[in-house]
Amino acid sequence: MMTYLERARAKARALIEKGSATLLAVESSCDETAVAVVKDGRQVLANEISSQVDIHALYGGVVPEIASRMHVEALSPLYERALAASGLGARDIDAVAVTFGPGLVGALLTGVSFAKALAYGLDVPLVAVNHIEGHVSANFIADPSLEPPFVCLVASGGHSHIVNVTRYGCYELLGRTVDDAAGEAFDKVARVLEIPYPGGPLLDKLAETGDEKRYRFPRMHTEGKYDYSFSGLKTAVINQAHTIRQNGGEIEAADWAASFRCAVVDALLDKALLAARDTGAERFALAGGVASNRLLRRETLRRGTEMGLKVFMPPASLCTDNAAMIGAAGFYRLMNGELAGLDLNAQPSVRLIEE
Ligand code: KG4
Ligand code: ZN
C-alpha cells in the first residue's frame, strides 16, 4: 500500500506535467487568519481573511495566546467561505499550501495543523511556504507579466530585506535590517503619538496631512552598504518627543508623523534602489505590510521609474498579511516538486535565505 507521501508525490508529478494546479492556501503566522484559493499561482479565486486587530488593540499589541485561540476558531469557517467564494468543491483542490514560519509559534501551529489535516483528508500534496516568500509572491498576483529576476524590498512588521529574486523560489539576500524592522519602527513611533495599535497604517494616514520638513530626524548609519538600522532613528524620535513635552512644548502630530515617515521611506529606498542599480536589475518590486505605505508607493514609482526600472507593487490589500500570497508562492514550490510531509512543523524563526 502506498503511503500518503507517496501518493502526494505521484499527484504532484501529474500536476507538474500539466503545469497547472489549484491551491488552497492557509495563513496564520500573526494576527490575521486567512484562507485563499489560487489557480496557477496567479489567479485568485477566493481570498478570505479574518482580522484580530480589534482584540489585540485592547492590549496595545499582539497577545500570542489570544492569537492562537482565535485562529482555531476562525479557520474552519474561513475555509468554508473560501471554497464557497471560489465556486469550487473540495475535490477540485489540487494541493494545500500553508505558512510554516516565520511568525508566532502557537499561531503558526494552528494553520499548519489545519493544513495537514486537510491535505491528508483530501489526499493531496502539502506545500510549506515561508511567510516572507509569500509577501514577495503577492507581486505575481498583482502583475501576471512579472517574472524573475527582480529586486524586491520586503518591509513588514518583523522583517526588512532587500532580496534579489533570481528564479522562482531562489533568493539572494542583498541587505537586511540589523535591528528593528521598518513596520516595528512605525508602530513604536505611532505609540508616542498615542495612535492605537497597529500604528503604521494610521500614522501613514495622519502623515498625509502633515509637513514633512517641519522636524529633522537623524540619518541612518550602518556598516553594510545595503543594510538597514531603524533602532537609532526610532529612539531619537521617541526621545526628542519626550524632551519637547518635558519642556512644556507640544508636538504637531501630523507634521511629526510626516517627518518620520519621510525619514523611513528615504532610508528604505536609498538602499534598495542602490542595490537594484548595483545588481543591474531591470525590475523592482515592493512587498510586505509597509509596502502599503502611501509615501513609499509614490516615491518608489517616482524614483524607480526615473532610474529606468520597471516598478511593481501589489495593491495594499495584498501587501498586508493574506493567504492569496501563500497560494502564489506555494504554486511555484509545488511546480518545483517541493512537498511537505505530515511531520511538517512550525518554524517560528525560519529565514528566507540561510546566511
Ligand atoms: O506584512 P505585515 O502585514 O505583517 C508582518 O508580516 O509583519 O506587516 C505589518 C506591519 C505593521 O508593522 C504595520 O504597522 C505595517 O506593516 N504597516 C504600515 C502600513 N500598513 C501596514 N506601515 C506604514 N504604513 C502603512 N500604510
Ligand atoms: Zn507579513
Nearest to 76 by CA among 110, 43, 41: 110
Nearest to 204 by CA among 299, 314, 321, 290: 290
According to the model, what pLDDT value does residue 61 have? 86
According to the model, what pLDDT value does residue 66 have? 94
Per-residue pLDDT band at 43 (split at 50, 70, 90): very high
Query: Which position has the grid cell 532580496?
Result: 163
- Strand (E) or helix (H) holding 89: none
Plot region of 221 (φ>0 → left; ψ -120 to 50 → alpha; else → beta)? beta
Roughly what angle, to the nearest 10 degrees, separates helices 253-278 and 199-207?
100
Peptide bond into 149 cis (omega under 30): yes
pLDDT value at 253 more than 90: yes
Asked if residue 200 lies in contact with residue 211, where contact means CB atoms within 8 angstroms, the answer is no
Query: Which residue's alpha carbon is nearest to atom 14 within ligand 1?
Result: 200
Question: Cα–Cα distance between 44 and 141 in angstroms, integer?
Answer: 7
What would you report as the CA-atom Rg of the chain, rounded to the nearest whole angstrom? 21
Cell of 207: 502623515
Question: Cα–Cα distance between 175 and 181 in angstroms, integer?
Answer: 12
Q: Is the CB of 200 under 6 A from ligand 1?
A: yes
Q: Is the CB of 292 under 6 A from ligand 1?
A: yes
Percent of the chain at pLDDT > 90 equals 93
Q: Count the Cβ atoms, other than its own, within 10 Å of residue 13.
A: 12
pLDDT value at 355 more than 70: no
Counting atoms of ligand 1 from 1, which one is nearest the CA of 293? 26
- DSSP state, residue 291: G
- 9 Cα: distance to centroid of ligand 2 (angstroms): 29
